[in-house]
Amino acid sequence: MKFEFCPLCGEKLIDKYSWDEGYIPYCEKHDMMFFDTPKPCVVVAVIKGNEVLLLKQSYIFKNSKVLVSGYVGQNEKVEDTVEREVREEAGIEVENIRYLGSDFIENKEILMITYVADYKSGEIKKSAEVEDVMWIPINEALSHMKENRIGKNIIKKILNNKQQTGTY
């Protein structure tokens, strides 16, 4: 978000020069700069054998399935968000969380931090906010994610890694 007014006192912010960053909205009263703030969100592909955990959430995509995702909480490590979201949405535990890279959702100011993780334990027990949770063969996952650009990118990376290293 590009700040126009000070979120602390409501004063109109002025542009202050900040070297490499260029001009940044600044509150004189608080002597504080307010940088644009993308919202960090995790996406994780949970792998079990040759299958990946997919969710059906029609409010995100009508005709596509999605990976587990969620916003990073205040005072929360990103890796903890990954574990928490998988537990909340699917009722299972993961291990070996590996960073896959990042992506963004244009015009939504959302920074997507993407991971792959291995299934550790538990039976699928979906949350009320999820319509369905299922294991889908990774080789078939792309055909379930037609509208889901970020999800497809993640699956492609995973398939690519598998080709190069022999493991997901």
- Per CB under 5 A, residues contacting Zn ion are 6, 8-9, 27, 29-30
Closest CA to 144 of 30, 81, 77, 51: 51
Residue 77 Cα distances to 19, 82, 121, angstroms:
30, 9, 22
All residues at 6 or more sequence positions from 44 whose CB lies less than 8 Å from its CB, including other chains: 67, 68, 69, 82, 85, 86, 94, 97, 114, 115, 116, 117
CB of 1 to Zn ion, least distance (A): 16
Q: Residue 24 CB, nearest distance to Zn ion (Å)?
A: 14
Beta carbon of residue 15, minimum distance to Zn ion (angstroms, whole number): 15
Query: What is the Cα–Cα distance from 70 to 121, expressed in whole angstroms?
Result: 20
Nearest approach in angstroms of CB 154 to Zn ion is: 40
Q: Which position has the token pair 């912010």? A: 13
Pick the closer one to Zn ion by CB: 23 or 104. 23
Q: C-beta of 16: minimal distance to Zn ion in Å?
A: 13
- Tell me whether residue 6 or residue 46 sits nearer to Zn ion (CB atom): 6
Alpha carbon distance 100, 127 (integer Å): 26
Token representation of residue 3: 């700040």
CB nearer Zn ion, residue 8 or residue 124: 8
Q: Measured between alpha carbons, how far is 66 from 133 in angstroms, rounded to an integer? A: 10
Residue nearer to Zn ion on the CB measure, 25 or 151: 25
Closest CB to Zn ion among residues 33, 60: 33
- Measured from each CB, the residue nearest to Zn ion is 6
